[in-house]
Amino acid sequence: MASILDHPPQAVRDDLDRLNLLLDAVPPKSTGDNLLMATWNIRGFGSLTEKWESQDGDSPRRDLHAAVLIAAVLDRFDVIAVQEVKANLRALRHVLKKLGPDYGFLMTDVTYGDPGNDERLAYIYDSRRLKPSGLACELVVPEDLDTPYATPANAFQRQFVRTPYAVSFNASGKTFVLVTLHIVYGEKGADRVAELTAIAKWLRNWAESMDDYGQNLICMGDFNIDRHGDPLWQAFTSTGLVTAPGLEKVPRTLSSSVEKPDLASFFDQIAWFERRRDGKPYLSLAFRQSGGLNFQGVVLTHLTRTQLSWRISDHYPLWVEFGLE
């Protein structure tokens, strides 16, 4: 059935042409050869104004123009971890309609309460290229994990603000588990250290047990790490997590990529454990390359930075390519 999204006005087509030139930096999907993963915090990804161009007084300001551009980005990847999906799914539904029937999605329920910001975590995936392989779970803290988040006295009272979401997939016979998360921001950086420490320990324990089954564990999302080398970074990497090579100088947000680029900001990450304690590799997937997509100045160029953040996002997508050989 034809959709209004299939017949965008000229302004949208022009933006798509410019965006596709930017997206040419992402390797093409090659059957049986590669796997393309991405993470993207899409700001307040909830409702949508069903007009091609929203106007002053419309709420939300995200519109069909923005939905088509978001879909064009997602279409370049095999699986995308998305943070800040809200209770209202209207924008997601429009994006999925534009992507077409070959794309599926999995997501958590809404995390209620002020710290959780009424958010969901989600995966959008190309079902022609990979399939969910059975596991889908939210991570809770066991009482025997040695962190401030779990002791026998408070194990069920003190959990992650937005529980990390893990899903297993299979592509060309390779099984991998993705864990996506959105770390609590808090009032100051120190508010995030305990959660990052607990998650790093949880992931290490899980990676050790999963290794017996030849699976790959990769985490991605918005870790709200301020700086490379700061206490948040140290907590994140304390159990051996390493970030995808090539992302060290990739801007994460709209505000970190203009005027004086703040390339030390490490909010968003893609990471994994590289070596087991016995020195053998964890991943059977072969890392090839990584990158980010800085769409600022490419699409919707008539908007201010703040306006652009509410149409598309205030974060850029990050991506990695793995070989399947």
Q: Is the pLDDT of residue 153 over 50?
A: no
Q: pLDDT for 175-201, tens place per residue?
A: 999 999 887 655 656 667 777 888 888
Mean pLDDT confidence for 80-99: 96
Give me the amino acid identity at 204. R
CB 299 within 8 A of CB 312: yes
Neighbours of 311 (CB within 10 A): 21
Bin 60: left if φ > 0, else alpha if -120 < ψ < 50, else beta.
beta
| Nearest partner of 176 among 133, 209, 138, judged by Cα | 133
Distance of CA 175 to the CA centre of its chain: 19
- pLDDT classification of 227: cutoffs 50, 70, 90: low
Say what the pLDDT of residue 298 is.
97
CB contact set of 297 (below 8 Å; sequence gap of 6+)? none
CA-CA distance, 207 to 280, in Å (whole number)?
13
> Token pair for residue 112?
């209620």
Q: pLDDT for 46-69, tens place per residue?
A: 999 999 999 999 999 999 999 999
CA-CA distance, 181 to 198, in Å (whole number)?
13
- pLDDT classification of 92: cutoffs 50, 70, 90: very high
